[in-house]
Amino acid sequence: MQSISDDYLTGFVEGEGCFYVGFSKRKDLPLRWQIITEFHLSQNPGGKKVLETFIKRLGCGYIKLNHPGSKRDKTFVLIIKNRKDLSQKLIPFFEKNHLQTSKFEDYLIFKKTLELIERKEHLTKDGFRKIVNLVFSSKRITHKKYSKEQILCSSETICKSRLR
Amino acid sequence: MQSISDDYLTGFVEGEGCFYVGFSKRKDLPLRWQIITEFHLSQNPGGKKVLETFIKRLGCGYIKLNHPGSKRDKTFVLIIKNRKDLSQKLIPFFEKNHLQTSKFEDYLIFKKTLELIERKEHLTKDGFRKIVNLVFSSKRITHKKYSKEQILCSSETICKSRLR
């Protein structure tokens, strides 16, 4: 059996990977929203070996059942949540190994969001708005729990300005 | 931008490829069933370049819209149906570039079926039965239009023997 190369892993991520940026309501935070950044890579049990190889290659991430309660869905998911791991391990991997489909757009939004967070810009209204606009600029968005308007308006005491 | 390597394409196929063996009713054929062998590789418009690269690499296959009538589903699919192409171009690719997930099992069943067809064994009752058993031996079958019993019984004038 051949070893699993970086190129193989990149092709694998095209189909099964997800660069997720989401927004979660958090009343205790000044802007009322938490920004979630996560990388997911799903696979059925027969492909768990690939997830394990990716974790070893990156030096971060963990594997869990995608739907622990389900009797039917036995898929696994590799998760990376730690922002340092995302910035210092995941991003450099994809800077070296280029995604070739429109998943590359998701990756760029993900990367830019991490950069803004790293510079703590997400803690300011302008920086937060920049991230929301970035995420909703994707042509690939099909469904989000909250609309851009819901997020931006409730992050300011009074929603004054018209959204871009 | 990097070139798309064989390793990348192999990882890509893990997620998006399908080695399909199916059975279609054909009253005009002696055993009443036609065996369908097709390779499919699906991708949204943003990944069409990868499908085109794979066609170029293999020297066979064509691309069509997955659901031409649909306004919502704009995915493309690379299809290889020609048995000579499957045996002489697709199979050698995956003999050289090994699949690493349980998709490898689908590949082995696909390859074995093609070999039996190449030796014209599918035209005999025993050979046909061998292929049906092979396809239904997969643990990964979740849904088939016809059951093993339906296919085997109606391929013989009288269904004498109990299925293995």
pLDDT digits (tens, 9 = 90+) for A33-60: 999 999 999 999 999 999 999 999 999 9
Taking the CA of residue B34 and the nearest CA in chain A, the distance in Å comes to: 30
Ranges of chain A with pLDDT below 50: 1, 157-164
If 0-12 CB within 10 Å is exposed, 13-18 middle and 19+ buried, where does residue A10 land? buried
Q: How far apart are CA A69 and CA A142, in angstroms?
A: 27
Inter-chain touch A50–B16, beta carbons under 8 Å? no
Residue B76 falls inside a structural domain: yes
Domain of B39, in residue numbers: 6-144
CATH assignment at residue B25: 3.10.28.10
pLDDT tens digits, one per residue of B48-107:
999 999 999 999 999 999 999 888 888 999 999 999 999 999 999 999 999 999 999 999
Q: Is A11 in a helix, a strand, or coil?
A: helix
Alpha helices by DSSP H, listed for chain A, are 6-16, 48-58, 83-85, 91-96, 103-118, 125-136, 148-154
Beta strand B76-80 with B62-65 is: antiparallel
ipTM value, please give it.
Answer: 0.87
Does B113 have pLDDT greater than 90? yes
- B-chain residues near A105 (CB < 8 A): 46
Interface of B with A (CB under 8 A): 1-2, 4-16, 43-47, 49-50, 97-98, 100-103, 105, 140
Residue B44: Cβ within 10 Å count: 16
Q: Find the largest Cα–Cα distance for chain B.
A: 61
| Mean pLDDT for the stretch of residues B134-144 | 75
Q: How far apart are CA A4 and CA A57, in angstroms?
A: 10
Inter-chain touch B100–A9, beta carbons under 8 Å? no
- B-chain residues near A101 (CB < 8 A): 43-44, 46-47, 49-50
Q: What is the pLDDT of residue B148?
A: 84
Residue B1 falls inside a structural domain: no
Taking the CA of residue A34 and the nearest CA in chain B, the distance in Å comes to: 30
> Structure tokens of A157?
């005491």
Number of domains in chain A: 1
Answer yes or no: are the C-beta atoms of A83 and A115 closer than 8 Å: no
Q: How far apart are CA B22 and CA B136, in angstroms?
A: 10
Does B20 have pLDDT greater than 90? yes
Residue A80 falls inside a structural domain: yes
Interface of A with B (CB under 8 A): 1-2, 4-16, 43-47, 49-50, 97-98, 100-103, 105, 140
Residue A32 falls inside a structural domain: yes
Residue A162 falls inside a structural domain: no
Residue keyed to tokens 């493309």: B76
Residue A68 falls inside a structural domain: yes
How many beta-carbon pairs under 8 angstroms link A with B?
A: 89
Q: What are phi and psi of B39, to 5 degrees?
A: -105, 130
- A-chain residues near B101 (CB < 8 A): 43-44, 46-47, 49-50
Residue B149 falls inside a structural domain: no
Residue A160 falls inside a structural domain: no
